[in-house]
Structure 1
Amino acid sequence: MKTIGILGGLGPESTSDYYREIISAFNAQYTERAYPEIIIYSANINEFMHMVKISAWDKLIEWLGGKIQCLHNAGAEFAVIASNTPHIVFDEIQALSPIPLLSIVEQTSKKAQQMRLGKLGLLGTKLTMESDFYRKPFMQKGMSVVVPAENEQTLIHHRLFSEIELGIFKDSTRSELLDIAKRMVDQDKIDALILGCTELPLILTKNEFGIPFLNTTAIHCESIIEYCIAD
């Protein structure tokens, strides 16, 4: 098995979810506790958010690339970024990386294609919803991605960083998110919803309204395991 590198901390709640998902999957497949070796670099989310806020993309690429280099130096044979938003510069980081990287966006688009989905809603941070780095791989596979209305995006972003990223899961917030999802089902006619922030599956834990909620953390972890055990 290959040694896994995880660039986490963006945020901490979902990083621990990655570890649990990977270990749980190996428990299900192997009977002799054949766990993979996992190296985690927990980065400073405040530094990350500051660079995003001021659009310091070159500095962000260098910063994230340095963390990947640290994982490589520690023995990781491939790596993942345990967060959706940093994938806005994934291609640039991959070009600098000394080891292979698995993209959460690419893996999610492949999963959606396998499920024969056509029109998907996307929830995430405001940057994730506003940018096109999610739309592009889906469009290339013949699918479309729609996002919530501007005021809904603002609410989602606020709830993510004032509550969910801090491990605070309120029933009222869950209801707000589900109301947005229901409106997108009714008005935008989406046939699936991408939980495009790795904290969202911690509060939206099951499918609703007769459509699949794509847990990007679980999809990413599935690809991590496949790559880890592949020859």
Structure 2
Amino acid sequence: MRKIGLIGGMSWLSTRTYYEHINRLVQSRAGMDHSAPLLIESLDYSKLSRLSSADEWKRAAGILSDSAKRLEKAGATAILIGANSMHKVYDEVAAAVKVPVIHIAECVAQRMAADGVKKAAVIGTRNVMLESFYRQKLIARDIELLPPEMQFVDTLDRIIYDELLLGKASRQAERELKTIITNLEQDGAEAVVLGCTELEMVVDVDANVLPIYDCTRIHAEAAVDWIMGEG
């Protein structure tokens, strides 16, 4: 099996989820006595939270690029960035190393296209929902995306930053997400992308009114494809 590197810590809760998903998938494919050859560098999230200015994002690109270099030097043959929002600096990170950096939105787009999804909605943090760096990967696969509604953007940003990233998953947040997803279905969405690794804390991925594409699971599956020599 090939060793893979994970840039984590954004938040540590999603890093834990990646670790669990990847190891369970390796066990299911290779046998229960196996575990994933995995390197993790957990970054200090306080330096990467709620970035807005160009200078802040430039600093973030440097932090993640340095992390990727360390993982490559330690023996990682491919790298994951364990946060949707940090894929804003994907190009800079990918250029800093010689090994592949597996793009989370590209994995999701590939899965949705294979399933024949034509119209979808993305929910996540403000920058994931409003900026093009994530959405363009889906659009490139001829998937029409519903325009983000600012009411939903504000609600999701609050839930993610004020609750989920702190490890809180309230019943109120669950109800708000159910309402948002129901509204998206009424607006014509055939599926919903969870464009935030923590959203599975308040969204029942396997029992919902619409097909839910959980970016963390899909990214982890792509990682295991690589580990097993299938990617």
TM-score range, shorter chain: over 0.9
- Give the structure 2 partner of residue 122 of structure 1: 122
Q: 1:123–1:147: 8 Å Cα contact kept in structure 2?
A: no
**CA deviation after TM superposition for structure 1 residue 4, in Å:** 1.1
1-structure distance, mates of 2:181, 2:206: 11
**CA deviation after TM superposition for structure 1 residue 209, in Å:** 5.1
Deviates more, 1:168-177 or 1:87-96: 87-96
2-structure distance, mates of 1:119, 1:32: 38
Question: Cα deviations across residues 111-144 of structure 1 (Å, max 9, x unaligned)?
Answer: 0001100111111011111101122122221111
2-structure distance, mates of 1:160, 1:117: 26
Question: What is the letter of the counterpart of residue 139 of structure 1?
Answer: I
Pairing 1:75-224 to 2, within 5 Å after superposition: 75-186=75-186, 188-207=187-206, 210-224=209-223
Q: 1:182–1:209: 8 Å Cα contact kept in structure 2?
A: no
Q: Which ranges of structure 2 fall in alignment gaps of 5 or more residues?
A: none
Question: Cα deviations across residues 48-91 of structure 1 (Å, max 9, x unaligned)?
Answer: 126x2333232222111001111112221111001100111212
Question: Cα deviations across residues 169-212 of structure 1 (Å, max 9, x unaligned)?
Answer: 111111001101111111x2000000000001122122455421
2-structure distance, mates of 1:31, 1:134: 35
2-structure distance, mates of 1:230, 1:30: 12
Question: Cα deviations across residues 19-51 of structure 1 (Å, max 9, x unaligned)?
Answer: 00011112212335222211110111110126x
- Give the structure 1 partner of residue 2 of structure 2: 2
Question: What is the letter of the counterpart of residue 16 of structure 1?
Answer: R
1-structure distance, mates of 2:111, 2:192: 12
Q: 1:120–1:190: 8 Å Cα contact kept in structure 2?
A: yes
- Indicate the SS of the match to 2:39: strand
* Number of aligned positions between the proteins: 229
2-structure distance, mates of 1:58, 1:166: 25
Q: 1:135–1:144: 8 Å Cα contact kept in structure 2?
A: no
Provide the aligned C-alpha RMSD in A. Answer: 1.5
TM-score (norm 1): 0.94
Q: Which ranges of structure 1 fall in alignment gaps of 5 or more residues?
A: none
Pairing 1:8-27 to 2, within 5 Å after superposition: 8-27=8-27
2-structure distance, mates of 1:203, 1:163: 10
Q: Give the direction of change, closer, same or farther, for the CA distance of 1:180–1:71 in structure 2 (3 Å limit).
A: same
Question: Cα deviations across residues 87-124 of structure 1 (Å, max 9, x unaligned)?
Answer: 11212221122321101010000000011001111110
**Sequence identity (%):** 24
- Give the structure 2 partner of residue 74 of structure 1: 74
1-structure distance, mates of 2:149, 2:66: 36
- Indicate the SS of the match to 1:184: helix
Question: What is the letter of the counterpart of residue 150 of structure 2?
Answer: E
- Indicate the SS of the match to 1:134: helix
Q: 2:129–2:135: 8 Å Cα contact kept in structure 1?
A: no
**CA deviation after TM superposition for structure 1 residue 147, in Å:** 4.5
